[in-house]
Amino acid sequence: MRPSREAVVTARPVRVECIPDGRPAELPAGTPAWITQALGTAFTLLVEGQLMRLRGADADAIGKPVPAAQTMAAPEGPDGLRDLVWQTLKTCYDPEIPVDIVELGLVYGCDVKPMDDGRFRVAVTMTLTAPGCGMGEILADEVCDKVLALPQVGEAHVEMVFDPPWDRSRMSEAALLALGL
């Protein structure tokens, strides 16, 4: 089954990242595109055969509202924060695959440690579906930004690892079902 697509036209010039290499590009006003994915806080557009990632903050460029940030209550201690981080990671999506990075099995770990000022340092260890994926830095930045926005987080770090390598066996049953695998 082919995913539904919505036709849009850029209302203003806007910066995007090309998928899968992450190369920045500028779409001029009046560029026709198709929204192929609108999950998490970004949009995946198809423009003249090229997939492109549009940041949610630039949603007005395609006539859409900025995706609402998830509101979350302050967690209870490091375990509560760890749970909140995992929930937040489920709002990050691979721009080519309509499944969040946790269900895809891209997140290998989350470490929460107290800092001297009462806040917490969060370290996320994750991988990519392919080591040469140019979207790695963009995904890592999105994860870092979302984790830093959580209550009580003072520092966030994302480490990309490729050992062990990712493969389909790391996907959850829900992800396999969503992708028809």
Q: Which domains does the chain have, with CATH numbers?
A: 6-62 (2.30.30.40), 77-178 (3.30.300.130)
Instruction: State the DSSP string of the chain.
Output: -PPP-EEEE-SS-EEEEETTT--EEEEPTT-EEEEEEEETTEEEEEETTEEEEEEGGGGGGGT-PPPPPPP-PPPSHHHHHHHHHHHHHTT-B-TTSSSBTTTTT-EEEEEEEE-TTS-EEEEEEE--SSTT-TTHHHHHHHHHHHHHTSTTEEEEEEEE--SSPP-GGGS-HHHHHHTT-
Residue with tokens 């903050």: 57
10, 28 Cβ separation under 8 angstroms: yes
Average confidence score pLDDT of the chain: 90
1, pLDDT greater than 50: no
Rounded Cα distance between 181 and 173, Å, is: 9
Tell me the percentage of the chain whose pLDDT exceeds 70: 94
**Per-residue pLDDT tens digits for 111-120:** 999 999 999 9
According to DSSP, the residues that pair with 123 across neighbouring strands are: 111, 157
The per-residue pLDDT for 33 is 96
For residue 46, name the pLDDT band (cuts at 50, 70, 90): very high
Average pLDDT estimate for 4-28: 92
Higher per-residue confidence, 132 vs 176: 176
- Nearest Cα neighbor of 20 from 124, 116, 94 is 94
Rounded Cα distance between 10 and 14, Å, is: 8
Read off the tokens for 50.
């090229």
Peptide bond into 98 cis (omega under 30): no
**Per-residue pLDDT tens digits for 74-101:** 678 889 999 999 999 999 998 888 899 9
| CA of residue 72 relative to chain centroid, distance | 18
For residue 144, name the pLDDT band (cuts at 50, 70, 90): very high
Read off the tokens for 159.
């480490």
Helix axes 77-89, 136-148, angle to 10 degrees: 140
Least confident of 93-97, 103-107, 172-176: 93-97
Give the count of beta carbons closer than 10 Å to the beta carbon of residue 20. Answer: 19
